[in-house]
Amino acid sequence: MKYEIKCSVCNKSLSSLLAFKCPSCGGPLDVELGFNFDPDKIRTSNYSLWRYEQFFPYAQERKIITLSEGWTPLVKFSDNVYAKLESGNPTGSFKDRGSTVLVSALHELIKEAEGYISEDSSGNAGASMAAYAARAGLKAKIYVPETVAGPKFNQIQFYGAQVTKISGGRARVAEEAQKMERRKFYVGHILHPLFRDGMRSLAYELLEQFGWSVPERIYLPVSAGTLLLGVINGFKHLSDSKEIDVLPKIVACQTEQVSPLYHLFKGLKYDPPETITSVADALVSVKPPLLDMMVKRLKEVKGDAVMVTEGEIIEAFLELARSGFFVEPSSAVAFAGYKKQLHTNVSSKHNNVAIILTGNGLKTTLKPT
């Protein structure tokens, strides 16, 4: 068995790559890997995510749809702190890892059925999926919240996708995207196991770029949890394959307004605000469908969670920009989380730390003052 798509709740095994939830219990799906990570199988002459083609067997068997995503720079920020510039991906965010893997695996199946893809997103995943659909010659319909950031809304349209604004909160947007329609294939990045599975590649890259040593801590922003869960799975795969003997401390960073994971992980009660006004416009999932999975897996790998205020986000955003790293405020949340743990002596001043800078600053609607 090279891989298996399985329900994370009832363990049902599925044969279709197109499934986005369990047909028996509705639970979220996972990709289970039946092979080891093997450094000898890396295509070292390929400077993109597809150097790991052998470790994505369901895509490898098909025509790969790529814009040369992944293998993003790992840049020294200070003595022991490194920034992973996911903002340098083709559409400006880490989402391209998920899109290239998902679209590569599915585009032929959807074309054979003369279908089109449907996706819901706060902006970045929609832009990314629209780009890879364009690259594959597939039609895409992207559903976004009314509050979508202008630059992301424009980007989706420039890729040629049809984009629809939906009012009434993030869950309503997902509902609309999932509504059954003829020839519609829902590939929503939050639920689709292949999108999340693409994030595994980030763990492989970090290990390679740190010279096969595991960083002590990794800080990343969390909303729906695809990045967090994918990175955890990647490091677990490396550990199960005996390539590493310790796991990094993975720290999930959330905003005060949107912090369901932080609260549940710490055993605290979370009351989401009625409307979200955070500058971190990509972090909007107050009730993420994968919340239970996130808490379970973060506990399994002995990770941590941290919550930051709006003031801390802006401060981190400006400090990054004034050091030459222009990222989205949503990405600055990870740096703010690191700074908070550093000030309270939770994070190390000496051992290697990676901050995942998830999205490009050109996507922000903030104005300089």
Q: Smallest gap, in angstroms, from Cβ of residue 13 to ligand PLP?
A: 25
282 binds ligand PLP (CB under 6 A): yes
Binding mask 298-337 toward ligand PLP (x if CB under 6 A, else -) reads ------------------------------x-xx------
75 binds Zn ion (CB under 5 A): no
Question: How far apart are the C-alpha atoms of 1 and 34, rounded to whole Å?
Answer: 5
Question: How far apart are the C-alpha atoms of 7 and 217, rounded to whole Å?
Answer: 30
DSSP for 57-81, written as a single string: HHHHTS----S------EEEEETTE
Residues 6+ apart with CB under 8 A from 68: 47, 48, 90
221 binds ligand PLP (CB under 6 A): yes
10 binds Zn ion (CB under 5 A): yes
Interface residue with ligand PLP, options 118, 124, 254, 257 (CB under 6 A) = 124
Pairing verdict, β 29-33 and 3-7: antiparallel
**Element holding 195 (H helix, E strand):** helix 193-198
Tokens 């050091």 sit on residue: 323
Residue 78 pairs with which residues in a beta bridge? Answer: 81
Question: How far apart are the C-alpha atoms of 307 and 305, rounded to whole Å?
Answer: 7
Q: Smallest gap, in angstroms, from Cβ of residue 312 to ligand PLP?
A: 16
Yes or no: say if 118 and 162 are a contact pair by the CB < 8 Å rule.
no
Cβ atoms within 10 A of the Cβ of 184, count? 17
Picked from Zn ion, ligand PLP, none, the partner binding residue 90 (CB below 5 to 8 A depending on kind) is none
Residues 6+ apart with CB under 8 A from 1: 34
Nearest to 210 by CA among 199, 200, 202: 202
Interface residue with ligand PLP, options 8, 72, 91, 122 (CB under 6 A) = 122
Q: How many residues belong to the site for ligand PLP (CB under 6 A)?
A: 19
Cβ atoms within 10 A of the Cβ of 39, count? 12
Q: Which residue is at the shortest CB distance from ligand PLP?
A: 359
Q: How many residues belong to the site for Zn ion (CB under 5 A)?
A: 8
Yes or no: say if 359 and 92 are a contact pair by the CB < 8 Å rule.
yes
The stretch among 5-13, 53-61, 79-87, 105-113 that binds Zn ion (CB under 5 A) is 5-13
Interface residue with Zn ion, options 5, 6, 7, 304 (CB under 5 A) = 7
Nearest to 31 by CA among 60, 61, 6: 6
Among residues 145 and 359, whose Cβ is nearest to ligand PLP? 359
Q: What is the DSSP letter of 27?
A: P
**Element holding 101 (H helix, E strand):** helix 95-112
Interface residue with ligand PLP, options 22, 83, 142, 222 (CB under 6 A) = 222
The stretch among 58-66, 68-76, 120-128, 174-182 that binds ligand PLP (CB under 6 A) is 120-128
Q: Smallest gap, in angstroms, from Cβ of residue 69 to ligand PLP?
A: 15
24 binds Zn ion (CB under 5 A): yes
Picked from ligand PLP, Zn ion, none, the partner binding residue 106 (CB below 5 to 8 A depending on kind) is none
Among residues 27 and 234, whose Cβ is nearest to Zn ion? 27
Interface residue with ligand PLP, options 226, 257, 278, 341 (CB under 6 A) = 226
Picked from ligand PLP, Zn ion, none, the partner binding residue 24 (CB below 5 to 8 A depending on kind) is Zn ion
129 binds ligand PLP (CB under 6 A): no
89 binds ligand PLP (CB under 6 A): no
Cβ atoms within 10 A of the Cβ of 80, count? 16
Interface residue with Zn ion, options 2, 4, 25, 183 (CB under 5 A) = 25
Question: How far apart are the C-alpha atoms of 161 and 195, rounded to whole Å?
Answer: 19
Picked from Zn ion, ligand PLP, none, the partner binding residue 359 (CB below 5 to 8 A depending on kind) is ligand PLP
Yes or no: say if 141 and 165 are a contact pair by the CB < 8 Å rule.
no
In the complex, which residues of this chain contact Zn ion (CB under 5 A)?
7, 9-10, 12, 22, 24-25, 27
- Where on the chain is the footprint of ligand PLP (CB under 6 A)? 93, 122, 124-125, 221-228, 282-283, 328, 330-331, 358-359
